[in-house]
């Protein structure tokens, strides 16, 4: 399918270019996102009318991309990860983690704008490329530090803390249960000292003292 690009598209062409693309790519991506027009006489005339506005939009996108690159230069991309004795990570740093890190710093980068040439699977310094706009490429350093196993944020300590919390909850439940049983026993015992026709609520302790033993007098 032939289309007329209404914006610069990386690895495809620049605004105003007439290019051939797969029908699915055009229908599912370019056309719905207003990035291209189907090539025909009517759309060619329409593009001539809007091309000045489209070029102004491209200038805005270009300036935004340059600002984004400069803003990223002002921060350090650092991750703290657990690793084995050979400094190999239990997994790898993904694009999503990098995007989330940048998002936490109020920097919005798309997944397609990031290139990880070599998987980040070890402690140390690594490099990625960020390409937010056609012709705007910059390489950035990603530092991965080894997380100390004793760090409060480590999974081992977090697990121990969770277990300690569960043990505390169990002990509290036992205390509450024991208190409930004792209270119930005292309540039942107090019922024995209350007449059946009494309107008074039974106390939690015996209302009357236990009967005293008869006095025994021993003769000489």
Domains of the chain listed by start with CATH number:
2-61 (3.40.5.10), 77-146 (3.10.430.100), 150-208 (no CATH)
The confidence score (pLDDT) of residue 113 equals: 95
CA atoms of 200 and 202, how far apart (whole Å): 6
The confidence score (pLDDT) of residue 128 equals: 96
User: Cα–Cα–Cα angle for 142, 143, 145, nearest 5°?
Assistant: 150
CA atoms of 6 and 1, how far apart (whole Å): 16
Report residue 187 CA to chain centroid gap. 52
Q: How many residues does the chain have?
A: 220
16: left (phi over 0), alpha (psi -120 to 50) or beta: left
The confidence score (pLDDT) of residue 145 equals: 96
pLDDT in tens, the chain (220 residues): 999 999 999 889 999 999 999 999 999 999 999 999 999 999 999 999 999 999 999 999 999 999 999 999 999 999 999 999 999 999 999 999 999 999 999 999 999 999 998 999 999 999 999 999 988 999 999 999 998 765 555 455 555 555 555 555 555 565 556 566 556 555 555 555 544 444 444 544 454 555 554 554 444 4
CA atoms of 171 and 168, how far apart (whole Å): 5
SS (H, E, C) 97-114: HHHHHHHHCCCCCCHHHE
The confidence score (pLDDT) of residue 69 equals: 96
SS3 content of the chain, % helix, strand, coil (to 5): 40, 25, 35
CA atoms of 17 and 8, how far apart (whole Å): 9
**Contact assessment for residue 144 and residue 156, using Cβ atoms and an 8 Å cutoff:** no
The confidence score (pLDDT) of residue 148 equals: 73
């Amino acid at each position: 399918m032939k289309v007329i690009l209404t914006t610069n598209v990386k690895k495809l062409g620049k605004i105003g270019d007439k290019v051939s693309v797969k029908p699915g790519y055009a229908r599912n991506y370019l056309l719905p996102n207003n990035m291209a027009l189907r090539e025909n006489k009517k759309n060619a005339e329409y593009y001539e009318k809007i091309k000045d506005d489209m070029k102004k939009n491209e200038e805005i996108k270009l300036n935004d991309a340059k600002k984004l690159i400069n803003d990223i230069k002002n921060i350090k991309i650092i991750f703290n990860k657990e690793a084995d004795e050979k400094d190999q990570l239990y997994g790898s740093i993904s694009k999503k983690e990098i995007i989330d890190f940048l998002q936490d710093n109020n920097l919005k980068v798309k997944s397609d704008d990031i290139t990880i040439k070599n998987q980040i699977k070890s402690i140390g310094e690594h490099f990625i490329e960020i390409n937010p706009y056609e012709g705007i490429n910059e390489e950035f350093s990603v530092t991965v530090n080894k997380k100390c196993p004793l760090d409060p944020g480590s999974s081992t300590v977090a697990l121990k803390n969770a277990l300690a919390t569960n043990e505390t909850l169990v002990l509290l439940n036992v205390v509450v249960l024991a208190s409930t049983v004792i209270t119930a026993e005292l309540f039942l015992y107090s019922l024995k000292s209350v007449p059946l026709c009494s309107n008074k609520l039974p106390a939690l302790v015996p209302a009357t003292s236990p009967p005293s033993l008869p006095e025994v007098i021993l003769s000489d």
